A and B are shown apart, each in its own frame.
Chain A
Amino acid sequence: MSDFEPKIVAFVCNWCTYAGADLTGTSRIKYSPSVKIIRFPCTGRIDFMLLLKAFANGADGIIVSGCHPNDCHYTSGNFHAKRRWIMFKELMDFMGIDMKRITFSWVSAAEGARWAEVVNETDARIRELGPYISYKEMVNRPLEEEVRNE
Chain B
Amino acid sequence: MNSLIARAKELLEKKSVDVVIGYEAGPTGLARPAFITDPERADKLIYDEHCEQNLAVYLTKQEVKNFGRMGIVSALPVMRSIMMLISEKQIVPENIVVLGISAEGKLLDIADINVMRGYIEKSDLTNPDKFKTALAELNKLNQEERFAYWQKEFEKCIKCYACRQACPMCYCIRCSTEVNQPQWIPVQSNTHGNMEWHILRAMHLAGRCISCGECGRACPVGIPCHLLTMHLTDTVYDYFKVYAGTSENMNSVLSTYEPSDKESFIK
Contacts and interface: CB of A to CB of B under 8 A. Distances in A.
A49 B149 CA distance: 21
B203 A48 contact: yes
A98 to B, nearest CB: 6
Given A87-B203, A104-B265, A95 B155 contact: no
Interface in B227-241: 228, 231-232, 235-236, 239-240
B139 interface: yes
B115 interface: no
A94 B229 CA distance: 11
B257 A83 contact: yes
A49 B200 CA distance: 7
Given A86-B239, A104-B267, A95 B146 contact: yes
A79 interface: yes
B155 A96 contact: no
B127 to A, nearest CB: 13
B192 A86 contact: no
Interface string A44-87: 00001100100010000000000001100000100110111111
A96 B207 CA distance: 21
Interface residues of A, number: 40
A98 B143 contact: yes
A117 to B, nearest CB: 10
A105 B201 CA distance: 26
A45 to B, nearest CB: 14
Contacts of B149: 96
B228 A96 contact: no
B146 A80 contact: no
A79 B143 CA distance: 28
Interface string B189-209: 111100110011011001100
Give the dominant DSSP class at B's interface.
Answer: helix
B184 to A, nearest CB: 5
A94 B228 contact: yes
B51 to A, nearest CB: 30
Given A49-B196, A138-B192, A96 B144 contact: yes
A141 interface: yes
Given A80-B254, A141-B192, A105 B266 contact: yes
B175 interface: no
A138 B193 CA distance: 10
Contacts, number: 111
B145 interface: yes
A98 B259 CA distance: 28
A149 B257 CA distance: 44
B261 A95 contact: no
B146 A96 contact: yes
Interface in A97-150: 97-99, 103-106, 118, 134, 138-139, 141, 143, 146, 149-150
Nearest to A49: B184
A89 interface: yes
A69 B200 CA distance: 26
Contact of B190 (A52, A79, A118, A146): A146
Interface in B117-147: 138-139, 141, 143-147
Contact of B206 (A87, A95, A103, A105): A87
B180 interface: no
A76, A91, A97, A104 pick with most chain B CB within 10 angstroms: A91
B191 to A, nearest CB: 6
23 contacts: A49-B196, A49-B200, A79-B257, A79-B261, A80-B254, A83-B240, A84-B203, A85-B265, A85-B266, A86-B263, A87-B207, A90-B235, A91-B206, A94-B138, A95-B146, A95-B195, A96-B147, A96-B149, A105-B266, A118-B267, A134-B147, A138-B151, A141-B190
The 10 closest A-B pairs by CB, nearest first: A96-B147, A96-B146, A79-B257, A104-B266, A90-B235, A87-B206, A139-B192, A94-B231, A105-B267, A96-B143
